[in-house]
Amino acid sequence: MTITVLYFAAIRDLAGIAEEQLARPANVRTLADFQTYLPTVRPALAGKLAGVRFAINETFADPAEPVEDGDVVAIIPPVSGG
């Protein structure tokens, strides 16, 4: 069971990669579970995910949304500037 994770902007810089395939543990059922799990794989993201938006399969998602095998999860930090 795998998911594709896409990292954007500052989150990409912290993760050190733009995209990866991750095995989805059985206990990762929702986006909230994924947010808790991700820093165990990418420790540089610990404490950095509070203000980001998540999308599942190109649609912004709420924490209660399910994460399933084959999904693409995008992590999009807030945009700043003018």
The residue behind tokens 């399933």 is: 68
Report the distance separating Cα 71 and Cα 56, nearest Å. Answer: 7
pLDDT in tens, 39-58: 999 999 999 998 899 999 99
Stated length of the chain: 82
Residue 82 lies in a domain: no
Q: Which domain holds residue 13?
A: 2-76
Per-residue buried b or exposed e for 23-42, using 16+ beta carbons within 10 Å of the residue's own CB? ebeeebeebebbbebbeeeb
H or E stretch covering 74:
strand 72-76
Indicate whether this model's pTM tops 0.85.
yes
30 found inside a domain: yes
* Residue 39 maps to a domain: yes
35 in a domain, yes or no? yes
Instruction: Grade residue 78 by pLDDT with cuts at 50, 70 and 90.
Output: confident
- CB of 67 within 8 A of CB of 56? yes
More confident position, 40 or 81: 40
| CATH code: domain of residue 44 | 3.10.20.30
